[in-house]
Chains A and B, each alone.
Chain A
């Protein structure tokens, strides 16, 4: 039984270890500890990928679906910690706590992917959100942006959780049980009634918020701008992975498919893509730009989920994987570029190809992937999503998605244009250490690999559903 939840137990151990380190006075080698221990977390979740079973009276299900997400979560967690820079803007005295909260947040998200019971889902989601609310203001003083960002995150998060609980109360009222297995057996008879759709959409709100889908996106630009670079890296990638897992799991309740439900999801997806891309066109701060690009990508991702098919869910899983890698790559460039942990504006990219060719290449590959240009993973992921939406007969959303891809190419390629063709005032080369170079090459490899050889991975993802 303990072997089944080894990744979760290890994350708990990780967080508690850093709690004790934060109490003690010895703080010189924290980063080394964190790096090696987070690598171990990734190894442990890889080793437990084949586990399956049920725990806690059926409230906690461990299957290939959840284990794949746990591997992705721990990989993302590990990469975020490896990308963490000492010059970064977290106060020296709070680094141990910072890692502890990152660990707790990842633990919450891991438990979220395995929970198949409504109350466990809410509490795991809150566990991960609370940890993030606390680390957003941890930034060396740059005005009071970070405090404002943290308050906004807290309020919007609380409201979306409230709406989600309201929806869940209807689900409970229908099934008289909080277990998804019981709900799925009675839910089809409510799917044709207005209340069933209302309950389902409200329940999904909490995950729409994490994914920053259109009507729940208000927090994203301000939090991305206000939080420190490494915190933003975490918030922009890891919670979205677990949100996708839960969106797939909960939309499975509506698996026969209801016309109105699919229509609501389609409208949200279309608005999200269009809004994100159009506002993204005029952004100057790269973190804000990536926030709006995240809103647009949430729309693309919904195309896979609204197909309500096995293929659609598998392509959504594929897309969130490549989304994590390309976003981490973009943020890595920002982290390495910023000298004192400040935000990077579009103009600061000028002359990047002269300062550091490797970083410019990494940014170009990531931007191409975000825009969806072959042979990168972003193209393949979008291709799978479009195909799955097309096969289930949602031609209109495919057209809107294609138009939006074209719009978004402009601002993604603007990043590349800035770094390659614009001359800087002063060119002082950026020196990268061996491990930093390795991470850059790893990101380039992952993005290209998922673009060129995606089919083996797709087979595994399909078998997980």
Chain B
């Protein structure tokens, strides 16, 4: 085992432990902390795969912004730190396990049975500069459309907030 493989295994372990904590912990605070760990692990994987821009975005958006939002929501809603009584039942747990194992095995089989180019293919690399340039020429349309999407979601959120107030 060389150093690269060692790093990869550590990153995988961090991601997996975080994901399992998120799903299995009954307390929502622990679940959120598990989510943070997973997101850090995934960011590490991106660095490992030589995509530093993606890794930075992952940390900024998921670890920085989204979990803060979740934390705020937890604090505003009330005592969710206690484990609810009916967190899960055995049947639900077994069914969920079956579904996730089935999809994992299916994907695993498909990926293993595909002949990949392996080491022969030349590495495909996109730097941060390339991404910045593409957003302003080839991908200008989606870049502009995102602004419209954000407008729609903001107006929608404001309207729904007013709507639910009016109902009470």
Q: A126-B149, A176-B124, A195-B110 given as contacts; is B155 within 8 A of A19 (CB)?
A: yes
Closest to B126 in A: A176
Q: A131-B152, A194-B110, A194-B113 given as contacts; is B142 within 8 A of A123 (CB)?
A: yes
The reply to whether A127 and B141 contact each other, CB–CB distance below 8 Å, is no
The reply to whether B163 and A138 contact each other, CB–CB distance below 8 Å, is yes
CA distance A104 to B110 in the complex (A): 39
Partner of B141, one of A117, A138, A195: A117
Of the candidate stretches A28-36, A53-61, A228-236, A384-392, the one touching chain B is A53-61
**Contact-size category for B:** 20 to 34
CB neighbours (8 Å) of B153 from chain A are 130
CB neighbours (8 Å) of A94 from chain B are 159, 163
The reply to whether A119 and B142 contact each other, CB–CB distance below 8 Å, is yes
The reply to whether B156 and A120 contact each other, CB–CB distance below 8 Å, is no
The B6-28 residues at the A interface (CB cut-off 8 A) are none
Partner of B142, one of A104, A120, A134, A138: A120
CB neighbours (8 Å) of A56 from chain B are 140-141
Q: A97-B159, A137-B160 given as contacts; is B138 within 8 A of A104 (CB)?
A: no
The reply to whether A120 and B141 contact each other, CB–CB distance below 8 Å, is yes
Tell me how far the C-beta of A216 lies from the nearest C-beta in chain B, rounded to whole angstroms: 15
The A27-46 residues at the B interface (CB cut-off 8 A) are none
The reply to whether B115 and A130 contact each other, CB–CB distance below 8 Å, is no
**Contact-size category for A:** 35 or more
The reply to whether A134 and B160 contact each other, CB–CB distance below 8 Å, is yes
Describe B's contact surface by its main secondary structure: helix
Residues 100-136 of chain B: 1 if any A CB is under 8 Å from the residue's CB, otherwise 0?
Answer: 0000000101110111000000001000000000000
Q: A94-B163, A124-B145, A137-B160 given as contacts; is B139 within 8 A of A119 (CB)?
A: yes
Tell me how far the C-beta of A231 lies from the nearest C-beta in chain B, rounded to whole angstroms: 14
CB neighbours (8 Å) of A119 from chain B are 139, 142
Q: A111-B145, A123-B149, A130-B156 given as contacts; is B163 within 8 A of A59 (CB)?
A: no
The reply to whether A120 and B159 contact each other, CB–CB distance below 8 Å, is no
The reply to whether A57 and B114 contact each other, CB–CB distance below 8 Å, is no
Q: A124-B145, A193-B114, A195-B110 given as contacts; is B138 within 8 A of A134 (CB)?
A: no
Tell me how far the C-beta of A278 lies from the nearest C-beta in chain B, rounded to whole angstroms: 24
The A103-138 residues at the B interface (CB cut-off 8 A) are 104, 111, 115, 117, 119-120, 122-124, 126-127, 130-131, 133-134, 137-138
Quick check: is B5 within 8 A (CB to CB) of the other chain?
A: no
Quick check: is B137 within 8 A (CB to CB) of the other chain?
A: yes
Q: A120-B145, A123-B146, A137-B163 given as contacts; is B138 within 8 A of A57 (CB)?
A: yes
Tell me how far the C-beta of B143 lies from the nearest C-beta in chain A, rounded to whole angstroms: 9
The reply to whether B152 and A104 contact each other, CB–CB distance below 8 Å, is yes
Chain B CB within 10 A, most for which of A55, A134, A176, A193: A134
CA distance A43 to B145 in the complex (A): 25
Quick check: is B75 within 8 A (CB to CB) of the other chain?
A: no
CA distance A312 to B32 in the complex (A): 49
CA distance A57 to B159 in the complex (A): 36
The reply to whether A134 and B167 contact each other, CB–CB distance below 8 Å, is no
CB neighbours (8 Å) of B124 from chain A are 176
Quick check: is A101 within 8 A (CB to CB) of the other chain?
A: yes
CB neighbours (8 Å) of B61 from chain A are none
Quick check: is B148 within 8 A (CB to CB) of the other chain?
A: yes
The A1-27 residues at the B interface (CB cut-off 8 A) are 12, 19
Tell me how far the C-beta of A262 lies from the nearest C-beta in chain B, rounded to whole angstroms: 18
The 9 closest A-B pairs by CB, nearest first: A134-B156, A56-B141, A195-B114, A119-B142, A194-B110, A123-B145, A59-B141, A120-B142, A57-B138
Offer 15 A-B interface pairs, CB within 8 angstroms, sorted by A: A19-B155, A57-B138, A59-B141, A93-B166, A97-B155, A101-B152, A117-B141, A127-B149, A130-B152, A137-B160, A193-B113, A193-B115, A194-B109, A198-B107, A198-B110
| Besides A127-B148, A134-B152, 19 new A-B residue pairs in contact (Cβ under 8 A), listed by A number | A57-B137, A57-B138, A59-B140, A59-B141, A97-B159, A101-B156, A117-B141, A119-B142, A120-B142, A123-B146, A126-B149, A127-B152, A130-B149, A130-B156, A133-B156, A134-B159, A193-B115, A194-B110, A195-B114
